């Protein structure tokens, strides 16, 4: 039963990776993703590309960050673990560098705890408030500290000049939340450009 459940999560994770890559929501090896299974987190291995992801490209780490597989986990694993520590209901996390989210991160936020306007009701319904995390070098301790300092204040996150980090109860839930965040950022950006 446990192995069937892990196999299903891996299959869903691979499908999500391919879907995001094929539709231009991420490029190269710039994205990472994880899901919780029992007392382990399976995260995309360092240097992997969403376009070519396979089940074996997810490597296990303990909930304290100790690598448990042969492959090195994504360098941004601390972002994922900060969300798993936040709530036992979080079962998956996706981080991409999607274009409209990055573009919107340059617009000065009226409220950093909720930086994407609710032009439609769906972002709030699916995800909730999206917090803006100040720019720090990707993969740096400074970024992880800035993220942890804001993790309790919002439901999803937008790393300034970098991209979204979105949790969900399951792999598919995180995927749907990420899609809604990117679409909301696109709408906000187009309205901003139009002066509205």
pLDDT digit string (tens) for 48-66? Answer: 999 999 999 999 999 999 9
State the pLDDT confidence band at 196, using cuts at 50, 70 and 90. confident
pLDDT the model gives residue 45:
97
pLDDT the model gives residue 143:
98
Residue 3 has pLDDT above 80, yes or no: no
Section 157-177 average pLDDT: 98
pLDDT the model gives residue 1:
44
State the pLDDT confidence band at 157, using cuts at 50, 70 and 90. very high
Residue-averaged pLDDT of the chain: 96
State the pLDDT confidence band at 168, using cuts at 50, 70 and 90. very high
Q: Among candidates 94, 79, 97, 96, which has minimal Cα distance to 150?
A: 79
CATH 3.40.225.10 fits 2-193, yes or no: yes
Strand order in the sheet with 40-44: 58-62, 40-44, 32-37, 92-95, 163-168, 156-159, 130-133
Q: Among candidates 112, 107, 102, which has minimal Cα distance to 165?
A: 102
Separation of CA 114 from chain center: 16
pLDDT the model gives residue 20:
97
Residue 4 has pLDDT above 90, yes or no: no
State the pLDDT confidence band at 26, using cuts at 50, 70 and 90. very high
Residues 122, 135, 176, 192: which is the catalytic one?
122
Can 192 be counted among the known catalytic residues? no
Section 68-95 average pLDDT: 97
- Phi first, then psi, for residue 159 (nearest 5°) are -80, 120
Residue 19 has pLDDT above 70, yes or no: yes
Residue 67 has pLDDT above 70, yes or no: yes
pLDDT digit string (tens) for 91-127? Answer: 999 999 999 999 999 999 999 999 999 999 999 999 9
The three-state DSSP-derived secondary structure of 35-64 is EEECCEEEEEECCCCHHHCCHHHEEEEECC
Section 30-44 average pLDDT: 96
């Amino acid at each position: 039963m446990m192995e069937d459940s892990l196999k299903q999560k891996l299959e869903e994770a691979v499908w999500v990776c391919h879907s995001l890559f094929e539709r231009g929501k991420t490029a190269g090896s710039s994205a990472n993703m994880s899901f919780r299974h029992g007392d382990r987190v399976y995260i995309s291995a360092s240097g992997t590309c969403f376009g070519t992801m396979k089940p074996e490209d997810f490597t296990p780490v303990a909930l304290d960050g100790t690598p448990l597989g042969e492959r090195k986990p994504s360098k941004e694993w601390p972002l994922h673990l900060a969300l798993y520590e936040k709530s036992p209901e979080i079962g998956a996390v996706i981080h991409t560098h999607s274009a409209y989210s990055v573009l919107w991160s340059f617009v000065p936020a009226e409220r950093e705890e909720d930086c994407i306007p609710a032009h439609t009701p769906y972002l709030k319904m699916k995800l909730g408030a999206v917090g803006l995390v100040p720019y720090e070098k990707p993969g740096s301790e400074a970024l992880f500290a800035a993220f942890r300092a804001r993790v309790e204040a919002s439901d999803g996150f937008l790393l300034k000049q970098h991209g979204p980090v979105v949790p969900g109860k399951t792999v598919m839930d995180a995927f749907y939340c990420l899609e809604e965040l990117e679409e909301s950022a696109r709408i906000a950006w187009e309205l901003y450009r139009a002066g509205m």
